[in-house]
Amino acid sequence: MPRYRITIEYDGTPFVGWQIQAEGRSIQGRLTEALFRLTGETVSVRGAGRTDAGVHARGQVAHFDLTRAWEPFKVREALNFHLKPDPIVVLDAAVAAPDFDARFSATGRGYLYRILARKAPPALDRNRVWWVPRPLDPKAMAEAAALVIGRHDFTTFRAAACQAASPVKTLDRLDVSVAGEEIRIEAAARSFLHHQVRSLAGSLKHVGEGRWTPTDMKAALDARDRSRCGALAPSRGLYLMDVVYGAL
């Protein structure tokens, strides 16, 4: 029974998230339907990250097993045909090792959060950025971001419903950069807590507005108290950019 690995890009706007739920359309559900149309099999599709409703991906990875071998090129092309007109595209398909697991074999994940800081609202990127109608201070945001990099108890920046066994994570990267009127927050770690990146982005916005100082960001982290978190950034600005496998 061959195992396949696929890399997927999607606009999360019309979906309830990656995972199949009792109501609503999901990315995982649409891939399952497309595979059924190709193979006649009900296939379990497992992703590297369970993105929330409205979250986008440029490099989500998933795996599944089929009862007979298919050419990877045909798998990719057939899935893209059957996924139309939904904003989901399979960028690549390959045969994977039998023990490959999209989630548990991953050694790193990278996320991007986009904030559009300008008076005029977005038109083309309406559901793809967090619009903040005022200037932000990226230098202060970068200073605050540097204070939370490393291995910490991230309880403050963790969703109340997070199912992770421990709030302790190692944040390898949290960079703040400017691209025109857009502020970009890039985060990398082996794994993340539920809502961790959105919680960090919302708190960094407080710093950018001058409501918090960089040391307030560190104090919030050290408090290990969810009530000390800044506003939860909306899902529409978040992208799963890539998933890393092998040595970091």
Catalogue all structural domains in the chain, each as residue range(s) with its CATH number.
Answer: 3-96 (3.30.70.580), 107-245 (3.30.70.660)
In sequence order, the β-bridge partners of residue 93 are 6
pLDDT tens-digit map of 119-168: 999 999 999 999 999 999 999 999 999 999 999 999 999 998 888 899 99
Dihedral of CA 99/103/104/110: which sign? positive
Q: Which amino acid is at 47?
A: G
- Name the residue among 235, 21, 34, 15 with its Cα closest to residue 129: 235
Nearest-angstrom CA–CA distance, 51 and 241: 11
Retrieve residue 160's tokens: 């109340």
**28: Cβ contacts below 8 Å, ≥ 6 apart:** 18, 19, 20, 45, 47, 62
- The CB density around residue 83, as the number of other CB atoms within 10 Å, is 20
Residue 182 has pLDDT above 90, yes or no: yes
The pLDDT assigned to 136 comes to 97
Retrieve residue 59's tokens: 């490099």
Choose, from 11, 52, 137, 242, the residue flagged as catalytic.
52
Nearest-angstrom CA–CA distance, 175 and 55: 20
Single pTM value for the model = 0.96
- Known catalytic residue: 52? yes
